[in-house]
Amino acid sequence: ELVIEYIASFIFGWFIFQAGMMISMYKSYRESLFKTFFPETVSMNFVMVGMIPTMYILMQYIPNSGEPSSSHFWFVMAMATLAGAIIAYPVNFWVVQNKLKHGCMTLPDKDNGNALPHVGISNQKHEEMEGHHVMNSQHGMNTLPFKKQMIIIAITITILIVAILVT
């Protein structure tokens, strides 16, 4: 059941929230899928590293937490989601900082298409950028070499497996 949930969540997140929402940054949906696979995989693995142990531990101690109609279930899910976000934050920060993924708080620079931090941009500057939300393929995003991506993904999968086995 856990494997099916992971695969369904990954596919949904990758196809819609990563590739689908980032398509304007690439020449095609196919390129968007290719470019967003690494950040989605790494992020999803770390979210699950936080969520799975939290769910398992809390469900052992909170009665009726396995029943979706119970408020206890939703409390456990909320705590697991919070734990997943906290665990995944450093890796997501690294991925965005290294321009391997577009951050949620960035806007394109109208002069050269590079992402600028949204935080701290004056209202005037923001208004000047209003019509320039679509980024072209010259958006300044980076890509790691394929071998390095696979090594990092393998490490995250190993950490996820250890988290599952420990709980």
Residues near 156 by Cβ (< 8 Å), separated by ≥ 6? 41, 42, 45, 46, 49, 91
Identify the CA nearest to 33 among candidates 5, 4, 11, 53. 11
Q: Is the separation of the CB atoms in 143 and 100 below 8 Å?
A: yes
pLDDT digits (tens, 9 = 90+) for 95-143: 999 988 877 665 555 444 454 444 443 344 444 444 433 333 445 688 8
Residue 131 confidence (pLDDT): 40
The average pLDDT across 6-17 equals 91
Residue 84 confidence (pLDDT): 97
**Mean pLDDT highest for which of 5-9, 20-24, 109-113?**
5-9
Give CA 39 to chain center in angstroms. 7
**Helix/strand/coil (H, E, C) string of the chain?**
CHHHHHHHHHHHHHHHHHHHHHHHHCCCHHHHHHHHHHHHHHHHHHHHHHHHHHHHHHHHHCCCCCCCCCHHHHHHHHHHHHHHHHHHHHHHHHHHHCCCCCCCCEEECCCCCCEEECCCCCHHHHHHHHHHCCCCCCCCCCCCCHHHHHHHHHHHHHHHHHHHHHC
pTM equals: 0.76
